[in-house]
Amino acid sequence: MWKQLQMGIRAFMLIASRVWTCLCFMLKKQTRAVIQHQSVKYELYPLSPLSRHRLSILKRKTLVLDLDETLIHSHHDGVIRQTVRPGTPPDFVLKVVIDRHPVRFFVHKRPHVDFFLDIVSQWYELVVFTASMEIYGAAVADKLDNGRGILRRRFYRQHCTPDLGSYTKDLSAICNDLSSVFILDNSPGAYRAYPDNAIPIKSWFSDPYDVALLNLLPVLDALRFTADVRSVLSRNLHLHRLWIKNDTPYVHPLCKIQRSDTSTSDLSSQFNDKHPLTQQNEICIDNIVTQVQEFENDSSSSNKVNSRVSQRSCN
């Protein structure tokens, strides 16, 4: 009788623990969804007739997007030391077969990535360029696209060039006109040959309060009005050096050549405190916007001077 009672109590505790685990999982996922959307405040306003005319005479530009640690972060079930805080539920799970072995990837989407893609797809032609294997990168791109048809053009590891122990991405293979193409990537080595056509971004692993994608929206909104993206992006080459110096590289399971491992101290700082580059990123973005405004003002003033000189010469 006593043994049956003990077995009953154990069975009840086991069922209760599983129910509690399921409830905690659902609660964490809902809380994460609320956090991701509560700070979205970037609003689109109708363009003025002058802005619409400006866009009509300019070529639609191409924005190249990296995947791992830029838009998403993933780990597979064979990783001993995960880079995500234990208990954090993934946004989706991919099951792929690599070398005849089934592998599960637990994929976490960067905060506000869906909102970011919705907005920038209205401004640019989007292209996915990842150094990962196609079987994995295509599955991730399909999930991010979610049937919207905004991530149709895709480039994978076979389109990269091995260089100095990493993979570089050839932007000229995407668009011959380098004045209208630029890349958003967390790895400076990926755009080593095109520093004037790149926007660096902090590597993301699991911070639910990350707003790096939102911070880029004002810059991307303004950049589409320029005739040559390099005229603006080339002014912030110091930012690339800052990323190379401070941003700790990371080895993704499918990009092992590209990055070295991440230290435990860096991970703990990401879990507990804001990365110091977040504030630097915001400052640099403000500088870019200011420089764009100054550039436009300088251009308008020079045009006025030229018109006056021409009038005087005619007289």
- Annotated catalytic residues are 66, 68
- 258 CA to centre of own chain: 17
Quick one: CA dihedral 127, 132, 133, 136, positive or negative?
negative
Nearest residue to 76 (alpha-carbon basis) of 48, 98, 54, 51: 98
| Alpha carbon distance 74, 87 (integer Å) | 14
Largest separation between any pair of C-alpha atoms in the chain: 115
| Alpha carbon distance 68, 132 (integer Å) | 8
| Alpha carbon distance 142, 94 (integer Å) | 11
Query: Helix axis angle, 134-145 relative to 113-123, nearest 10°?
Result: 80
Paired with 154 in beta bridges are 128
Nearest residue to 184 (alpha-carbon basis) of 258, 134, 239, 227: 239
| Alpha carbon distance 28, 19 (integer Å) | 14
> Could you tell me which residues come within 8 angstroms of residue 173 by beta carbon, excluding any fewer than 6 positions away?
155, 159
> Could you tell me which residues come within 8 angstroms of residue 134 by beta carbon, excluding any fewer than 6 positions away?
156, 157, 158
| Alpha carbon distance 297, 288 (integer Å) | 14
